[in-house]
Amino acid sequence: MKQVEQLQEVDLFQKIANHEQVVFCNDRQSGLKAIIAIHNTTLGPALGGTRMYPYSSVQEALEDALRLSEGMTAKCAISDVDFGGGKAVIIGDPNKDKSPAMFRALGQFVDSLNGRFITGTDMGTSMNDFIHAAKETKFINGIPESFGGSGDSSIPTAKGILYALKATNQFLFHNDSLDRVYAIQGLGKVGRKVAVHLLEAGAFVYVTDANESVIKSFLNEVRDKQHCIQVVSAEEIYRVNADIFMPCAIGGIINEETIKLLNVKAVVGSANNQLACDKYAASLTEKEILYAPDYIVNAGGLIQIADELYGVNKERVLKKVASIYDTILQLFKDAQDANITTVEAARRECERKLDEQQHRNNFYSRSRRPKWDIK
């Protein structure tokens, strides 16, 4: 028994070897079971949303927290914001298990980290949930403006996706018009906003969502565009003949099986960690499918919540979100010139930025930050 315990301990530390800190949060009264993963605070306190998902095991939740927080380090570096990478996951079904008490408990755990981790919404959580968390800690962002936050971060995220789509169309078709065919997986906070805009721009969209009521409500919103929409099943979304496949729900959906099915020229979406692992970037390239790295495409929300550090200026946020167009276009060109995948090109750029900015004050060098006052 003792040997088994020792082995598990070693495995766990191997698993989190690239991370600075992982916190398991358990609140019996509210039922909160959450994991906070802090990947890297070189550039500043760890920043990242909190996801709620009915994980089938603690292992699965931990894997997700580790991968998502690592992605946030890259996202912060490439977006030039003064934050590091972190993320929290709550184990539970967002449609059944949520309560204000659960988010207050999460707020207390976040507060106990004294500014090392700042959080807000992600998949399965909403601004309203974080109003409760913000009663317990100041280290919450992206809550409604009426509560002193920067508001719905899925709005700038959706705008960023549209810029990334334009850049992709420019690169592929030498014309950045959005008037094309898209296959959208997930019509949540981000996917739906993007879909509505694409329809307004004259696009045709294939859509799917795991939740039928989400599809109904979407169709209701875009009643006058029914001829430009086809609802398909969860499986069919991978097979449809479209210009761009847009993952806007869960991660890990670009894998050996789905790559075989894809019938598109590019993959551009909001979901974090779309590739089940990095090797699938090469498989996409082999199939001549252009991949826009998720953490560049979906950085709009991060850009807004990071701007809270300076008191939020929507104009400044929009300008920075618009730069996603140039970043993506340049990345496609760099990858093409160097004959490497877009994932490798993005990784090199992140590493360059992290190296270049090692000198920046960070948690360990006791920087003071205007809003969060990290001591």
Ligand X SMILES: O=C(O)CCC(=O)C(=O)O
Ligand Y SMILES: NC(=O)C1=CN([C@@H]2O[C@H](COP(=O)(O)OP(=O)(O)OC[C@H]3O[C@@H](n4cnc5c(N)ncnc54)[C@H](O)[C@@H]3O)[C@@H](O)[C@H]2O)C=CC1
What is the binding site for ligand Y (CB under 6 A)? 121-124, 153-154, 157, 185-191, 208-211, 214, 234, 248-251, 270-272, 298, 301
Count the site residues for ligand X by CB under 6 A.
14
Q: Which is nearer to ligand X, 82 or 122 (CB)?
A: 122
Q: Which is nearer to ligand Y, 155 or 354 (CB)?
A: 155
Smallest separation, CB 190 to ligand Y (Å)? 4
Which of ligand X, ligand Y, none does residue 252 bind to, with CB < 5 to 8 Å depending on kind?
Answer: none
Q: Which is nearer to ligand X, 89 or 165 (CB)?
A: 89
Asked if 274 interacts with ligand X (CB under 6 A), we say: no
Q: Which is nearer to ligand X, 92 or 251 (CB)?
A: 251
Considering only the stretches 57-65, 119-127, 226-234, 275-283, report the one whose residues sit in contact with ligand X under the rule CB under 6 A: 119-127
Which of ligand Y, ligand X, none does residue 160 bind to, with CB < 5 to 8 Å depending on kind?
Answer: none
Smallest separation, CB 315 to ligand Y (Å)? 19
Smallest separation, CB 49 to ligand X (Å)? 3
d(CA 263, CA 5): 47
CB 118 within 8 A of CB 46: yes
Compose the 277-306 pattern: x for residues touching ligand X by CB under 6 A, - for all others: ---------------------x--xx--x-
Could you tell me which residues are beta bridge partners of residue 231? 207
Asked if 153 interacts with ligand X (CB under 6 A), we say: yes
Nearest to 73 by CA among 12, 113, 19, 115: 19
Q: Residues 33, 75, 87, 98: which is the catalytic one?
A: 87
Smallest separation, CB 257 to ligand X (Å)? 25
Q: Which of residues 2-61 bind ligand X (CB under 6 A)?
A: 48-49
Asked if 82 interacts with ligand X (CB under 6 A), we say: no
Smallest separation, CB 345 to ligand Y (Å)? 21
Please confirm, yes or no, whether 87 is among the known catalytic residues: yes
- Residue 89: Cβ-neighbour burial (10 angstroms; 0-12, 13-18, 19+): buried
Asked if 272 interacts with ligand X (CB under 6 A), we say: yes
187 CB contacts (<8 Å, ≥6 apart)? 195, 207, 209, 214, 215, 218, 248
CB 156 within 8 A of CB 321: yes
Q: Which residue is nearest to ligand X (CB)?
A: 301
Smallest separation, CB 305 to ligand Y (Å)? 9
Which of ligand Y, ligand X, none does residue 120 bind to, with CB < 5 to 8 Å depending on kind?
Answer: ligand X
d(CA 106, CA 132): 9
Q: Which is nearer to ligand Y, 245 or 363 (CB)?
A: 245
Q: CA geometry: angle at 184 spanning 126 and 287, to 5°? A: 130
- Note the residues at the interface with ligand X (CB under 6 A): 48-49, 75, 120-122, 142, 153, 157, 272, 298, 301-302, 305
Residues designated as active site = 87
